[in-house]
């Protein structure tokens, strides 16, 4: 799962224009990394592209932190 975690952190840093060292599992997209609603949708699209997966947008928008995203994406990648 470390490869997935690393890729999630990279996508988050690039999409939200933050330094990757600030992207940790506990980082919340809105409160800690400053994501707005448009960037939240961009994150979903970026994750789908990076991992070649389809994410349920409503469920994905319920993901609030980097760690949550890793746990959400990991089983989708395994399918």
| pTM for the full predicted model | 0.91
The CATH number linked to 19 is: 1.10.1200.10
Q: Catalogue the active-site residues.
A: 36
Please answer whether residues 33 and 16 qualify as being in contact, where contact means their C-beta atoms are separated by less than 8 angstroms: yes
Work out the percent of the chain whose per-residue pLDDT is above 90.
82
Count of domains for the chain? 1
pLDDT at res. 57: 79
Question: Which residues span the domain enclosing 11?
Answer: 2-78
Nearest-10 crossing angle of helices 37-51, 66-78:
30
pLDDT in tens, 15-74: 999 999 999 999 999 999 999 989 999 999 999 999 999 998 788 878 999 999 999 999
């Amino acid at each position: 799962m470390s490869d997935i975690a690393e890729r999630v952190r990279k996508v988050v840093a690039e999409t939200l224009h933050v330094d990757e060292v600030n992207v940790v599992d506990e980082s919340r997209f809105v409160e800690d990394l400053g994501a707005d609603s448009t960037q939240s949708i961009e994150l979903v699209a970026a994750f789908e592209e990076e991992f070649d997966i389809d994410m349920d947008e409503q469920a994905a928008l319920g993901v609030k932190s980097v760690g949550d995203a890793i746990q959400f994406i990991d089983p989708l990648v395994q399918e």
